Amino acid sequence: MGRTPVGREGSAEGGGDRSRRAGGAGDHPARPGGAAGAPSTARERAQAAGERARGRVEERAERARLTFRRLAGLDRSGPPPPETMPGQPWRPWTIPNAIGAGRLALIPVFLLLAFSTQDGVAAAPAIIFAVIAWSDYADGIAARITGQYSRLGALLDPLVDRLLVVAGFVVCLSFELLPRWAIAALVLRELVMLAGSRVWLRKGLEWKINWPGRLAVWPTMAAVFFALVGLTTLGAVLLYLGLALSWLAFALYIQAGTRQLRAREASS
C-alpha cells in the first residue's frame, strides 16, 4: 500500500508532464517551420514565386515594347534628357554628334553635285540627299542606344534638317523642279515660326513639338528627292502634303500657346 500512492503520484506526474508536452503546441503558436505550418507556408511561397515570375515576364515584355517604340521615335513621352537642356556641356565627342557632323559635311557635296548637272535631275545628288535625310534616324537611334545625349546634338540635329531642306529648295527653285508658290509658303511658315519662337520663349511658354510638325518633315524631304530623280508630279503632291501638315502644326502651336496664356491668367 505504500507503493501505491507513489505509483499513482508518479503516474499522475508523468501524465501531467506528457499532457503538458503534448499540449505545448496548443499553448504556443506554431512556428513557421513547424510541421503544422509547413504545407501552408510552402503553398504561399510557391504562389509568391509564381507571381514574381509573372511580374518579371510582364516587366521584360513592357521594357521590350517601350524600347522598340523609343528606338523608332514613336514614344516621345516624358521630359527631354537632362544632357540636352540649356547650360549643359556640349559633349561634342559622341557617336550621334559624329553622325550629325557627317550629315552636315555632305550638304555642300549635295549642292556641288546638283549644280554640276544641266537640269538638276541626276542620281548622284539624289542619293546624297537621301543619305543625309535618312541618316537622321541613325543619329536618333545611336543616341537612344548609347545614351550619348548632348547639348550639341540637340541643336545640331534640327539645324542639319533645316539646312538640308533649304539646300533642296534652292536646287528645286533654280531648276524649277517644284511649284515655287508652295516652296514660298513653306519658307514663310519657317520664318513665322522663327519669329514666333522668340516671343514664345520670352513669355515663358512651354514648347512641345506636335505630331503634324514631326510628320511634315518627311513629305517635304521626299518631295525634293523625287523632284531630283525626275518624278516632279509625285514630288509636287508630297510637297503639298508637307505644306498642309506644316501649317496645321503651326495652328496647333498657336492653340497650345493660347491655352497656356489663359490658364496662367486664370490662376493669377
pLDDT, tens only, 131-183? 999 998 888 888 888 888 888 888 888 889 889 999 999 999 999 999 999 99
Mean pLDDT of 65-81: 62
Top pLDDT among 70 and 196 is at 196
What is the average pLDDT across 40-61? 69
Average pLDDT over residues 216-227: 94
The reply to whether 152 and 183 lie within a common domain is no
Mean pLDDT over the full length of the chain: 79
Q: Domain count for the chain, please give it.
A: 2
* DSSP string across 23-63: THHHHSPPPTTSTTTHHHHHHHHHHHHHHHHHHHHHHHHHH
Is residue 1 in some structural domain?
Answer: no
Domain that holds residue 121: 80-176
Q: How confident is the model at residue 86 (pLDDT cuts 50, 70, 90)?
A: confident
Q: Are residues 188 and 259 in the same domain?
A: yes
Which pLDDT tens digit goes with each residue over 59-70?
A: 555 544 546 666
For the segment 98-107, the average pLDDT, to the nearest whole number, is: 95
Residue given cell 550639341 in the structure block? 152
* Of the residues 122, 155, 176, the one at which a domain ends: 176
Q: What is the pLDDT of residue 230?
A: 94
> What residues contact residue 207 under an 8 Å CB cut-off, 6+ apart?
197, 200, 201, 253
* Nearest-angstrom CA–CA distance, 263 and 268: 9
Mean pLDDT of 200-228: 85
Q: Is residue 158 part of a domain?
A: yes
Is pTM beyond 0.75? Reply is no
Closest residue by Cα to residue 120 from 71, 160, 173, 69: 173
